[in-house]
């Protein structure tokens, strides 16, 4: 089955620690995205990548980093510089073309210990 796989489902971060969230897709999509979702707010874009080895900052990139070494993979690292990391993180990929519909993974819920 084609889809987007995020892991882990739950993650805990200690003070001063970097953590990496995994996102893998087998939909053959070129574009991939990372969003953060907080209660009562819309999804906010952290980073996006339209092609392998290229990515751009979204609206809230500070304290996060990404890489895009393979078409299928777009991992997100939450660094110690991100002072308020507790949130639900969603990875998406899109079809391209006119509609360019985004499809989402199941999400990772990150909490601070």
* Interface ranges with other proteins (CB under 8 A): 40-45, 48, 58, 88, 90, 98-107, 109
Residue with tokens 């507790």: 86
Cα–Cα distances in angstroms (integers) from residue 42 to residues 1, 17, 22, 45, 92, in the given order: 29, 27, 22, 10, 15
Q: Dig out the tokens for 82 from the structure.
A: 């991100």
Q: Cβ closer to other proteins: 83 or 99?
A: 99
- Compute the least distance from the CB of residue 110 to other proteins, in Å: 14
With H, G, I as helix, E, B as strand and everything else as coil, classify residue 112.
Answer: strand
- Compute the least distance from the CB of residue 11 to other proteins, in Å: 15
Q: Dig out the tokens for 25 from the structure.
A: 């897709």
Specify whether the CB–CB gap between 1 and 73 falls below 8 A.
no
- Compute the least distance from the CB of residue 34 to other proteins, in Å: 12
Q: Cβ closer to other proteins: 13 or 109?
A: 109
Q: Cβ closer to other proteins: 45 or 52?
A: 45
- Compute the least distance from the CB of residue 79 to other proteins, in Å: 23
């Amino acid at each position: 089955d084609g889809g987007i796989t995020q892991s882990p489902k739950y993650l805990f971060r200690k003070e001063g620690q970097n953590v990496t969230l995994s996102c893998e897709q087998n939909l053959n999509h070129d574009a991939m995205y990372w969003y953060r979702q907080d209660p009562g707010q819309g999804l906010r874009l952290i980073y996006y990548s339209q092609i392998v080895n290229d990515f751009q900052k979204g609206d809230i990139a500070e304290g996060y980093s990404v890489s895009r070494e393979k078409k299928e993979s777009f991992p997100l690292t939450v660094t110690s510089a991100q002072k308020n990391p507790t949130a639900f993180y969603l990875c998406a990929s899109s079809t391209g073309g006119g509609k360019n519909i985004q499809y989402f993974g199941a999400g990772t819920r990150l909490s601070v210990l």
